[in-house]
Amino acid sequence: MGTPLDSLRNIGPAMTDRFVRIGIRDVEGFRAMGADAAYARMLTEGERPHIMVFTAMVLALQGRDWRALSSADKADIKARYTSCRTLVEKGELPPPAQDPDEAAISPELSAFLDHMGLSPR
């Protein structure tokens, strides 16, 4: 078994249950699929759409706190969320992450950047 999902920031028991329902059992599986594809799969399995669930997923892979989001980050997440919903409504799914580590930073770096008042992006 890989790294527990709840070791990620923003992922607790309820979110872990959501991941398990779509076949993601560890952090490595989540990184391989990516937040967009994982969220779209949740929607196809009956999850009610909510931007905060998607936001928590995106930020979990980045090791970031939601309070550190800039206006540009929020706009990017909203656009990705809307894209996921649109694809699912058409019966399509976004592709898995091209680079599973594309948005990932270490928790240590995230903490340092938060301490310095900087956003990791």
Binning pLDDT at 50, 70 and 90, where does residue 109 land? low
Compute the distance between CA of residue 78 and CA of residue 82 in angstroms, rounded to an integer: 6
Instruction: Locate 11 and state its tokens.
Output: 């992922």
pTM of the predicted protein model = 0.77
- Those residues whose C-beta lies under 8 Å from the C-beta of residue 33, and which sit 6 or more positions away, are 24, 41, 96, 97
Question: What CATH architecture applies to the domain 5-115?
Answer: Orthogonal Bundle (1.10)
The share of the chain scoring above pLDDT 90, in percent, equals 69
